[in-house]
Amino acid sequence: MKAILALEDGRIFKGESFGAPGESFGEVVFNTSMAGYQEILTDPSYKGQIVCMTYPLIGNYGVNSEDVESSKPFAEGLVVKEYSKIASNWRSEGTLGEYLKRNNISGIEGVDTRALTLHIRKAGAMKAVISTVDLDEKGLVNKARASAGLVGIDLVREVTCKKPYEWEKKGKYKVVVLDCGIKYNTLRVLAKNNCKVLVVPARTKAGEILDLKADGVLLSNGPGDPAAVPYVVETVRGLIGKIPIFGICLGQQMLGQAIGGKTFKLKFGHHGGNHPVKDLKTGRVAITVQNHGFCVDMDTLNKKELEITHINLNDKTLEGIRHKRYPLFSVQFHPESAPGPHDSEYLFKEFINLMKKSKSKNF
């Protein structure tokens, strides 16, 4: 079945459909990971986005019921150079194409993904549409232009849990996770580090969280524009100075705004499993997993109160902060990996130590 990817600036990419038929709209971005397409599709941070994989062969090891990072796929569409119709792996339970169709996700193959990636790098991430039902190029471009973008749109409400739930009932440290689009592996790593884990919806108030008598709060990753979720920022503001906090990705953006900073949209974002980040204290460089299109402007932060801990070595943007007085810190990347390198998993140990110190001081 023929398919077309149309960008809002008029660029057209033709290919063949290997996912669900119909039309899908989203901001098209590229991901540089060589594997982990199922984890990428099910990362709630990709809500509202069409993902182009830069690695040319996708789908060769199939899909399974274990490698999911949420209850369902949240990406709007998948763009690949070549889709492998043969899935060969002892853990495989089906093909990627079947998985996309079952979950009503568009997929297009046969696209020159190098050309698309170079175009996005030059022109920036932009609104797009994948269609199998309307092959009128001019009409599709107009549809892409008329579609909703990410700026100013609250996508957190579409991915957060509806009610609180316990992920792990046993553990020395009780952690409340504010779910803005949490990945399952973050919860797994917390549980592995002796944490009792309770996940709460994004609209949970600060007072409600403090009433749970937790040892710490984790602010999760999530999709979309951080400036479009002021209710989360207000919750975070009410927690600062009262409980240890660890923010991841969107969690850093929420924390940054809560302490007076501002966010901005990156030209084409950071998406993939090979982004170099430097720890300014140790000088160590970690290869990190990233998935965000917005960032905290470090020039808007109060350096008397905050320490810049990490920077991105590709574009020198902010990757980590720590408060000088209060027990809180955050990073822009995903230390839980899934998929990707495990270089940064030590940050969960730092969170445990922060809770341990605060607990001993009856903070």
180 noted as active-site residue: no
Please, what sign has the CA dihedral across residues 111, 115, 119, 125? Answer: positive
Q: Is the pLDDT of residue 363 over 60?
A: no
Residues with Cβ within 8 Å of 197's Cβ and at least 6 positions away in sequence, in order, are 166, 167, 168, 171, 175, 177, 187, 190, 191
Q: Report the pLDDT value the prediction gives residue 359, as an integer from 0 to 100.
A: 74
End-to-end CA distance of the chain: 61
Q: Is the pLDDT of residue 362 over 70?
A: no
pTM for the predicted model, two decimal places: 0.95
195 noted as active-site residue: no
For residue 179 the two structure tokens come to 């779910």
310 noted as active-site residue: no
Q: Is the pLDDT of residue 51 over 70?
A: yes
Mean pLDDT of 320-335: 97
Name the active-site residue from 52, 195, 249, 295: 249
Name the active-site residue from 119, 271, 292, 334: 334
Q: Considering the chain, what percentage of its residues have pLDDT values greater than 90?
A: 96
- Between the CA of residue 22 and those of 74, 147, 197, what are the distances in Å? 17, 15, 39
Q: Which domains does the chain have, with CATH numbers?
A: 2-146 (3.50.30.20), 156-360 (3.40.50.880)
Question: Which tens digits make up the pLDDT trace of 200-224?
Answer: 999 999 999 999 999 999 999 999 9
Question: Which tens digits make up the pLDDT trace of 272-300?
Answer: 999 999 999 999 999 999 999 999 999 99
Name the active-site residue from 27, 69, 76, 336: 336
